[in-house]
Chain A
Amino acid sequence: MKTLAILIVTLFLSFSASAQLSYEKGMKKAFDLWDQNQIVEASNLFERIARAESDNWLPPYYAGYTLVLSAFEVKDEATLKLKLDKAEELLNQASSLSPNNPEIMLAKALGNTAYISFDGQKYGMNLSGKNQMIYQKAMQLAPDNPRVILAKAEWDMGSAKFFGQSIQPYCEDVQKALSLFETEEKSDIRFYPSWGKKRAQQILEEDCEN
């Protein structure tokens, strides 16, 4: 009797451990695919994990974020819209699990930027205002999040360049983001977004040197 109880407990433990493991393994595998530039495969895997894990915002966030990134490569509008619609759906799923999350907000703003960079005349009027609002809100929620500072600075730089104005103030913001990246503590949440440092360095080198 006692043995059986132990057995059941052991089996139960091993099952839950294996479930835990497969989330870790699954996410790890998706990041590996992403590192190998297989972004479609990575995105598909994130999506599968998102469909299976209905209470964790990270899988749908990454599924949406990778779709947004891949949308920048798209050449025809039909595919662009399909990708970004799906990305929006996944990011909405993420934000319903984690409301007012600045990381998800940045991914949504990046989706708008993909539309604007595809056809600024058509989408710029409506979506640039939306992005302004998103960045403002993200800054209110997380004024010391280096990704928020970086994304907002990069966006502001874009419009300053368009209007022929100095980008210097935004370079200072990027510099500030970079120093915050240096001191950013690793989150307790496994797979919490940590991108941005390289991008900040790249902007400082390429756009801000003079």
Chain B
Amino acid sequence: MKAPLFLILLFLSVQVLAQQSISGQVTDRQGLPIIGANVYLVGTYDGATTDAKGKFSFSTSETGEQTLYVSFLSFEDYSLTTDVTKLKEIDIRLREDVNTLDAVMLTAGTFEAGEASRVTALKPLDVVTTANALGDFLGALQTLPGTSTVAEDGRLFVRGGRAEETQIFIDGMRVFAPYTPTTNNIPTRGRFSPFLFKGISFSTGGYSAEYGQALSAVLKLNSIDEPDQEKTEVSLMTVGVGVGNTQKWEKSSLSINTSYINLTPYLEALPDRNQWLSPIQSANGELVYRYKTNDTDLLKLYGAFSYTDLDVIQENINFEEGFRFANENRNLYVNGSYKSLLGQKWTLNTGLSLSHDNNQFQVGEDLISNSDHSAHLKIKLNKRLNNRLKFNVGGEYFITDFDERFQALETPAFDYGFQNNISAGFAEVDVFFSKQLALNVGARVGHYELLNQTEFSPRASMAYKSGKHSQFSLAYGRFFQHPNAEVLKFNSALQPEHATHFIANFQYVRKNQIFRVEAYHKSYDNLVKFDTELPIFGSNFSNLGFGEASGVDVFWRDNRSFKNLEYWASYSFLDTERDYRNFPEAAQPGFASTHNASLVTKYWIEDWNSQVGLSYVFASGRNYTNPNQPGFLNQKTKTFHNLSFNWAYLIDQQKILYFSVSNVLNTRNVFGYNYANQADANGVFQRQAIVPNDDQFLFVGFFWTISDDKTSNQLDNL
């Protein structure tokens, strides 16, 4: 009696373990089979991998309600909970994951550099190994299309816009004085060491609603989240010395970078055209501290201090003894940002930047001292509703307090300045309709306390991926920017200037190759005008200026066609006119050239442990006014050429010798002409060519890295 019961029970338990078969097919939305998908019952080992027809079948001993799960790379996961007996011959259609590298990107108008980006126009190394860049990332960016070569200035001039129309951000926070102080005809450099940044994104138009107070372009720098190792870096250069050190701890890290630059020895050896009373010297210190409050949240503090002074007499046709210019500049910049994942796919980004910039100028006989205290506060929330819908909302506040004192010879000094606060809010939404089609719509509202005026700027961009490697994009936006201190200090009632961008872009990207062409039209209104040579007290100011710029930018980068050779080529066509400042009529401004082209090459020579690079920059002539002839901006300079060469030699894994020379061909470039204020006895205005201080610049540096692993080096930094 007992034995049969045991058998029956045993039989029943076998019944329970009896196999149930599960089968079906996995396809994409178009019905094409998905091969290699993982199909299984959650919590069991029971499952299968789909075959060449997308089919699967397996058996299970599970019963009742079960969850069937399907996962495959590049598709969204799928799950179905039902009774196992119903899991037969089922058809499963997976939705494409739109967050993959090969999906459409909302990127009209943007160049990316760095590893984090999906399409890198510039690689991390390029920022500093480009021959004509001399270790300055701004120099490297000027080999991208959309920028104009203004070699005597060095700042970024984008698509017919003035340099002030480009704003620079570090970790989302505004940088108020990004360029090192300099004087006429000596190009400025970026204040910030490229070594501290992991990614650079340069948008030459049509950027998102998150960025305001920039009419032409935004340059976003992201500092490194976590340095890879502890190290000390030493640089010995013909122009100065630098020392850097990185320390790491469990949750935090600290990088310090210092440099001292003094041009005296260089100018002793290779004098330039100026009479230097005190050549440029600068001391710079930067510090980045990062603290991970937990796995996902990160606090970053960035601080930079620099001191620069120079005193020079430059030749000037209107001053027989030359014109004296001196400056002593102190700049302190502090930037803190905090990123936190709040859960439920909310992300918080918040930050604060503070800047204190102080100048003591001597301009001819006049003494001018000024100080600019600025701050930027920002808070931003991102919500990812699902893979296909994202929101981004935020608010920010800009504070500027500017004071200046002017003292002419033997007259009392007078003080003036302004205070201007701007608040702004922005909201935008990203919609991915499919892996091929995406749309971003946003708007920004800004309020100017000085004027009690509010502006509204809509932005939109869309992108369509037309093939495996190609994509079309369109972008539109209205942009506002408050005039800067140059005019606001004399007239604080001036309104913000406006620009409207229309952009159409095509890009073709495959591994190690990028082709990009972008056409744009930009119109300006509300530009500041005045009726004196330079803005002064008593100028009649107005916002009646206007202008426009249209053009085409072409970019080609190829790292695959030739072994050990990388190169990129850029061409920009620009057609622009504007009526602003003291222009009597609309004209092409002197900083804009119609054609700009550059070619950058880098070749690795294995037997020599060396990388050699050549870069060539071309710009067509720029307008200037010849008072001996009728008209305004009535003549053009000759074309600009610069061929630069660099050579990096790896002595061993941690020591590098670097050599570079600009303008190898010794081309005599002319940027424009200064005319005498008075005509001479024959009624002719004599002129003086505006030329570089130095036709050629020579740079030699030795870079040494000391780290535990003994293999990292500063090749990345050159």
Q: Which residues of A contact B (CB under 8 A)?
A: 3, 7, 11, 14, 22-23, 26, 40-41, 44-45, 47-49, 51-52, 76-79, 81-83, 86, 119, 121-123, 125-126, 128-130, 132-133, 136, 156, 159, 163-165
With beta carbons under 8 angstroms apart, the residue of A47, A51, A81, A119 that contacts B42 is A51
Q: How far is the CA of A129 from the CA of B246 in the complex (A)?
A: 13
Q: How far is the CA of A23 from the CA of B44 in the complex (A)?
A: 10
CB of B2 within 8 A of CB of A3, answer yes
Residues of the B chain whose Cβ atoms lie less than 8 Å from the Cβ of A121:
123, 125, 559, 566
Q: How far is the CA of A125 from the CA of B650 in the complex (A)?
A: 16
Q: Tell me if B268 counts as interface (CB < 8 A to partner A).
A: no
Contact bitstring B651-693, A, C-beta under 8 A = 1, else 0 = 0110000000000000000000000000000000000000000
Given contacts A11-B13, A129-B712, whether A163 and B101 have CB atoms under 8 Å apart is: no
Instruction: Tell me the interface secondary structure of chain B in the complex.
Output: loop
CB of B709 within 8 A of CB of A136, answer yes
Residues of the A chain whose Cβ atoms lie less than 8 Å from the Cβ of B229:
129, 132-133
Given contacts A7-B9, A78-B100, A121-B559, whether A136 and B49 have CB atoms under 8 Å apart is: no
Q: For chain B, residues 6 to 26, give those with C-beta under 8 angstroms from any C-beta of chain A.
A: 6, 9, 13
Q: How far is the CA of A133 from the CA of B712 in the complex (A)?
A: 11
CB of B123 within 8 A of CB of A132, answer no
Q: How far is the CA of A51 from the CA of B77 in the complex (A)?
A: 14
Residues of the B chain whose Cβ atoms lie less than 8 Å from the Cβ of A126:
115, 124, 198, 228
Q: For chain B, residues 609 to 646, give those with C-beta under 8 angstroms from any C-beta of chain A.
A: 609
- What distance in Å separates the Cβ of B568 from its nearest Cβ neighbour in chain A? 13
CB of B650 within 8 A of CB of A122, answer no
Q: How far is the CA of A93 from the CA of B407 in the complex (A)?
A: 69
Which of B5, B49, B125, B716 counts the most A-chain CB atoms under 10 A from its CB? Answer: B49
CB of A122 within 8 A of CB of B123, answer yes
Q: Tell me if B208 counts as interface (CB < 8 A to partner A).
A: no
Q: How far is the CA of A163 from the CA of B120 in the complex (A)?
A: 26
Contact bitstring B511-543, A, C-beta under 8 A = 1, else 0 = 110000000000000000000000000000000
Residues of the A chain whose Cβ atoms lie less than 8 Å from the Cβ of B650:
163
CB of B74 within 8 A of CB of A133, answer no
Known: A45-B47, A122-B120, A129-B712. 19 other contacts (CB 8 A): A14-B13, A26-B45, A45-B45, A48-B45, A51-B42, A51-B43, A52-B44, A77-B101, A77-B102, A77-B511, A78-B74, A78-B101, A78-B102, A119-B511, A119-B512, A121-B566, A125-B716, A126-B228, A165-B653
Closest to B226 in A: A130
Closest to B69 in A: A51
Q: Tell me if B701 counts as interface (CB < 8 A to partner A).
A: no
Q: How far is the CA of A76 from the CA of B511 in the complex (A)?
A: 8
Q: How far is the CA of A101 from the CA of B144 in the complex (A)?
A: 46
CB of B711 within 8 A of CB of A48, answer no
Residues of the B chain whose Cβ atoms lie less than 8 Å from the Cβ of A83:
73
Residues of the B chain whose Cβ atoms lie less than 8 Å from the Cβ of A44:
36, 38, 47, 49
Q: How far is the CA of A166 from the CA of B650 in the complex (A)?
A: 15
CB of B711 within 8 A of CB of A136, answer no
Q: Tell me if B250 counts as interface (CB < 8 A to partner A).
A: no
Closest to A25 in B: B45
Interface size class of B (residues with CB under 8 A): 35 or more
Q: Tell me if B111 counts as interface (CB < 8 A to partner A).
A: no
Residues of the A chain whose Cβ atoms lie less than 8 Å from the Cβ of B100:
78, 81-82
- What distance in Å separates the Cβ of B78 from its nearest Cβ neighbour in chain A? 15
4 nearest A-B pairs in the assembled complex, by CB-CB distance: A129-B228, A78-B101, A78-B102, A44-B38
Q: How far is the CA of A129 from the CA of B120 in the complex (A)?
A: 20
CB of B73 within 8 A of CB of A132, answer no
- What distance in Å separates the Cβ of B55 from its nearest Cβ neighbour in chain A? 14
- What distance in Å separates the Cβ of B297 from its nearest Cβ neighbour in chain A? 17
Q: Tell me if B708 counts as interface (CB < 8 A to partner A).
A: yes
CB of B124 within 8 A of CB of A22, answer no
CB of A123 within 8 A of CB of B6, answer no
CB of B653 within 8 A of CB of A163, answer yes
Which of B40, B46, B512, B650 counts the most A-chain CB atoms under 10 A from its CB? Answer: B40
Q: Tell me if B606 counts as interface (CB < 8 A to partner A).
A: yes
Which of A7, A47, A129 counts the most B-chain CB atoms under 10 A from its CB? Answer: A129
Q: How far is the CA of A81 from the CA of B100 in the complex (A)?
A: 8
- What distance in Å separates the Cβ of A86 from its nearest Cβ neighbour in chain B? 7
Contact bitstring B292-310, A, C-beta under 8 A = 1, else 0 = 0000000000000000000
Closest to B103 in A: A78
Q: How far is the CA of A49 from the CA of B40 in the complex (A)?
A: 10
- What distance in Å separates the Cβ of A161 from its nearest Cβ neighbour in chain B? 10
CB of B45 within 8 A of CB of A49, answer yes
Residues of the B chain whose Cβ atoms lie less than 8 Å from the Cβ of A86:
73
Residues of the A chain whose Cβ atoms lie less than 8 Å from the Cβ of B228:
126, 129-130, 132-133
- What distance in Å separates the Cβ of B115 from its nearest Cβ neighbour in chain A? 5
Residues of the B chain whose Cβ atoms lie less than 8 Å from the Cβ of A51:
40, 42-43
CB of A164 within 8 A of CB of B47, answer no
A-B contact pairs, 6 of them (CB 8 A): A3-B5, A3-B6, A26-B45, A76-B102, A122-B124, A136-B709
Closest to A23 in B: B45
- What distance in Å separates the Cβ of A160 from its nearest Cβ neighbour in chain B? 8
- What distance in Å separates the Cβ of A79 from its nearest Cβ neighbour in chain B? 7
CB of B115 within 8 A of CB of A122, answer yes
Residues of the A chain whose Cβ atoms lie less than 8 Å from the Cβ of B125:
121, 125
Q: How far is the CA of A26 from the CA of B46 in the complex (A)?
A: 9
Residues of the B chain whose Cβ atoms lie less than 8 Å from the Cβ of A45:
45, 47, 49
Residues of the A chain whose Cβ atoms lie less than 8 Å from the Cβ of B511:
76-77, 119
CB of A40 within 8 A of CB of B49, answer yes
Q: How far is the CA of A13 from the CA of B405 in the complex (A)?
A: 92
- What distance in Å separates the Cβ of B649 from its nearest Cβ neighbour in chain A? 12
Residues of the A chain whose Cβ atoms lie less than 8 Å from the Cβ of B708:
136
Q: How far is the CA of A122 from the CA of B115 in the complex (A)?
A: 6
- What distance in Å separates the Cβ of B232 from its nearest Cβ neighbour in chain A? 14
Q: For chain B, residues 304 to 347, give those with C-beta under 8 angstroms from any C-beta of chain A.
A: none
Q: How far is the CA of A77 from the CA of B73 in the complex (A)?
A: 13
Q: How far is the CA of A50 from the CA of B152 in the complex (A)?
A: 62
Q: How far is the CA of A42 from the CA of B538 in the complex (A)?
A: 81
CB of A159 within 8 A of CB of B606, answer no
CB of A123 within 8 A of CB of B115, answer yes
Residues of the A chain whose Cβ atoms lie less than 8 Å from the Cβ of B512:
119
Which of B5, B45, B198, B228 counts the most A-chain CB atoms under 10 A from its CB? Answer: B45
- What distance in Å separates the Cβ of B467 from its nearest Cβ neighbour in chain A? 14
Q: How far is the CA of A46 from the CA of B13 in the complex (A)?
A: 28
- What distance in Å separates the Cβ of B474 from its nearest Cβ neighbour in chain A? 24
Contact bitstring B584-607, A, C-beta under 8 A = 1, else 0 = 000000000000000000000011
Q: How far is the CA of A132 from the CA of B115 in the complex (A)?
A: 18
Residues of the B chain whose Cβ atoms lie less than 8 Å from the Cβ of A132:
228-229, 709, 711-712
Q: How far is the CA of A115 from the CA of B142 in the complex (A)?
A: 29
Residues of the B chain whose Cβ atoms lie less than 8 Å from the Cβ of A76:
102, 511
- What distance in Å separates the Cβ of B416 from its nearest Cβ neighbour in chain A? 48
- What distance in Å separates the Cβ of B561 from its nearest Cβ neighbour in chain A? 15
Residues of the B chain whose Cβ atoms lie less than 8 Å from the Cβ of A77:
101-102, 511
Closest to B73 in A: A82
Residues of the A chain whose Cβ atoms lie less than 8 Å from the Cβ of B115:
122-123, 125-126
- What distance in Å separates the Cβ of B477 from its nearest Cβ neighbour in chain A? 29
Q: How far is the CA of A83 from the CA of B73 in the complex (A)?
A: 7
Closest to B709 in A: A132
Closest to A11 in B: B13
Closest to B13 in A: A11
Q: How far is the CA of A48 from the CA of B37 in the complex (A)?
A: 12
With beta carbons under 8 angstroms apart, the residue of B46, B47, B609 that contacts A163 is B609
